Structure 1
């Protein structure tokens, strides 16, 4: 079956009119402002169609039957929306597996599917019929971030606002480690229509080149710290970087406690010692200490 069905010129015409035109024609006929013949000619709708609609006959849609009944499709749509809300969204393959499982457990055999497994074209038609779900690229978040509650976040900000109250912006430093290449990638998942940023929980192993950045509330930055995934650090890897950049290497390409200590004592601490008054160094990666 083609993706976009195109009717042959010699075949019978089906519904070459819009729903609005049909409703307008029926409204004029019921109001006795037009006869069936005149309405059919004016709106270019077959007269027999108007007759059937007025009598309430032939209400079934034209074309082939759907593989699933309406109740089953609606239940699957709600399942897709619920899984997206729970931050475990389904992709199109998951959707096809659910349909196959439903047909198998129902004892039904859909001859248009291979072993009851829907194809890609059926998935496209399913999404076209159900406008309240759509495909979006998801972003990956960890279980730790999902487990945070609003009470925990509010408690954190209430506490830190008191701690930072008497500290000048130049003495408030924040560091963060980031990775350049180890991204498992995004994929399209099923979610409720209108959802702009769907997430999915995915724990990943970080094994690539890392960078440590640190800056204060005035926008001043320390030199970056680069960690390569390697057994040895080659001199050519330390060329062309920003002034003052420090380089290191680890088996995983990520910071460990030894490398973190080197960053702290070689880059962070000398700057902090030159400042007067109380200082604060904030960081997200708690397992470095």
Structure 2
């Protein structure tokens, strides 16, 4: 990146409050270590964490006449390798930092690197984006469980995580209804196949046509996990971009799956003649 204009002092303060948060921010030791590694003078080490960090970063950008070393510090603090064992903290903190950086036209990617982005002029363009997705899905009358995955923290970059979490919810619902603990294609086979009496059935399973419907829906579930969940779980987001229309279509399909699962019955009751 070229020379980055000095950040507004309010932006610096907000970033410092996130990274130096008393409850879930960096520790004082971590702040000192990171400042040292980034060659930023720790000019106020005796102050509270966020004020200490704010003063150090503000002083550095004033001395430099630019915000490049401030961004370098944020990138260093949010290096994915540093937080490999705490992805929830990484994602949550990056989300908060990006909401602030959006006012400077910047964003930290999942690789921990800064990139230019459209400059925000409102408090939360991410919230607006999430609201737009939710409105479209409500117009489609999707299953209520799907709306859960339109939270702004899930769509702050794109719709990748909303789709990922929604597909995960399908497996979770199957486990809740069956008591099984497997996942993916194995879970589908365990829950619906005819190797033994299925755990769940989508119909009465009396005719060949009904059995074929059960098998067809099994294939749909396996395709859902194989195409979307497994891909999003293992592929970097940059190589698996999901646009709004794709997200709407995928989430609508997941909605259909949820509705069918809600109506699925215990297959053993069919075979015992209780239904």
Common fold, TM-score beyond 0.5?
no
Q: Per residue, is there more strand in 1 or in 2?
A: 1
Q: Which TM bucket (shorter chain)?
A: under 0.3
TM-score (norm. length: structure 1): 0.24
